[in-house]
Amino acid sequence: MKWIIGIDGGGTKTMGWAADIKGKVLDQVEKGPGNYHVTGVAEFTTVIAGIIDELAISCGWPKEDLMVVSLGLAGADRENDRKIIGSALAELKLPCHYLINSDAKIALAAGLKKAEGIVLIAGTGSIAYGITEQGNVIRAGGWGQLASDEGSGYDIGRQALVRGIKAVEGRDKATVLLDKIMEYLKLTSWEELIGYINNRTTTKTDIAALAQVVTDAAAQHDQVACEILQQSGEELAGLVKAVISRGFSEEKTVQVCVYGGIVSNVPLVRNHLAAALGEKAELIIGQDQPVAGAIRLGLTWLEDNRKELG
């Protein structure tokens, strides 16, 4: 029986779905991070191989009948990344086609069910990604936490640390953020906090997790926390506006599908995002998981190459 796999590889987790060639989802599996920039190429390859192996076993279908592995991966729309990813996948020595797209493209395919539009992803990182009617790709953000990721979970967590420290030092208005961060991390002294922040084992994901502390503080009307979340919404709106202005008509409302825990689960961020965009965009909360978009793109590739495949 012929079958396909769709994979959504993120900085925190990787989802894999198996489907038959009619699109019926057969089974799914979840693994750790699937961004080779985070894990390294060897671990990335291990994660993908593990997903394929587990799905083959759970579905009872041989890997020799696997037609397509359709992947949506962070950074995969850059040529050098695609070469690195392609070489890593070739090491698996499977007789299937690997369809390599960005995580944003599969989210767009899942959220809007069409090939053009804009998707905004705001989870651990952030990016706005658009495909115009002419097929041109326009992106804003997505450069990583050192130069970008505005409005993301990482950005919110970092701002909580920055403004919490400033408040303690008398350089910002009073806030409960640093006390709540210490409690969340189970730390008892400033020395421990300094060690945590500067420890090489503290990851981008760890800092992004502090966004929950900010959300909780905002719910208790902490002014600094509310300001951080407002800024997040406005920064995310700036990413969307940048994509609209570079390839979409500003005379009509553009559909923007949103994914990621920050926009999906934090109403204050989403409300400020919508307010900042105004009539420029209609926000649509993504209902289908992005990995469903990977399946959709895989099926489209199969249909387009039906004659060559026989």
Check pLDDT > 80 for residue 11: no
Give me the mean pLDDT over the 267-283 stretch. 95
Contacts of 177 (CB under 8 A, 6+ apart): 160, 163, 164, 167, 213, 214, 217, 222, 224, 225
Say which CATH architecture domain 3-103+289-309 belongs to.
2-Layer Sandwich (3.30)
Burial tier of 20 (Cβ tally within 10 Å: 0-12, 13-18, 19+): middle
Query: What is the tens place of the pLDDT at every residue in 133-163?
Result: 888 999 999 888 889 999 999 999 999 999 9
**What rounded mean pLDDT belongs to the chain?**
92
Task: Please give the pLDDT value at position 34.
Answer: 86
pLDDT band at 36 (very low <50, low <70, confident <90, very high): confident
What is the widest separation between alpha-carbon atoms in the chain?
A: 71
Task: Please give the pLDDT value at position 75.
Answer: 67
Check pLDDT > 90 for residue 276: yes
Task: Please give the pLDDT value at position 10.
Answer: 81
Query: What is the tens place of the pLDDT at every residue in 184-239?
Result: 999 999 899 999 999 999 999 899 999 999 999 999 999 999 999 999 999 999 99
Query: Contact at 8 Å (CB) between 8 and 298?
Result: no
Check pLDDT > 80 for residue 307: no
Query: What is the tens place of the pLDDT at every residue in 72-102?
Result: 997 677 788 889 999 999 999 998 999 999 8
Residues paired with residue 130 on neighbouring β-strands, in sequence order: 118, 138
Q: Please tell me the distance from the alpha carbon of residue 126 to that of residue 129, in angstroms, as a whole number.
A: 10
Lowest-pLDDT choice from 8-12, 68-72, 220-224: 8-12
Q: Please tell me the distance from the alpha carbon of residue 40 to that of residue 48, in angstroms, as a whole number.
A: 13
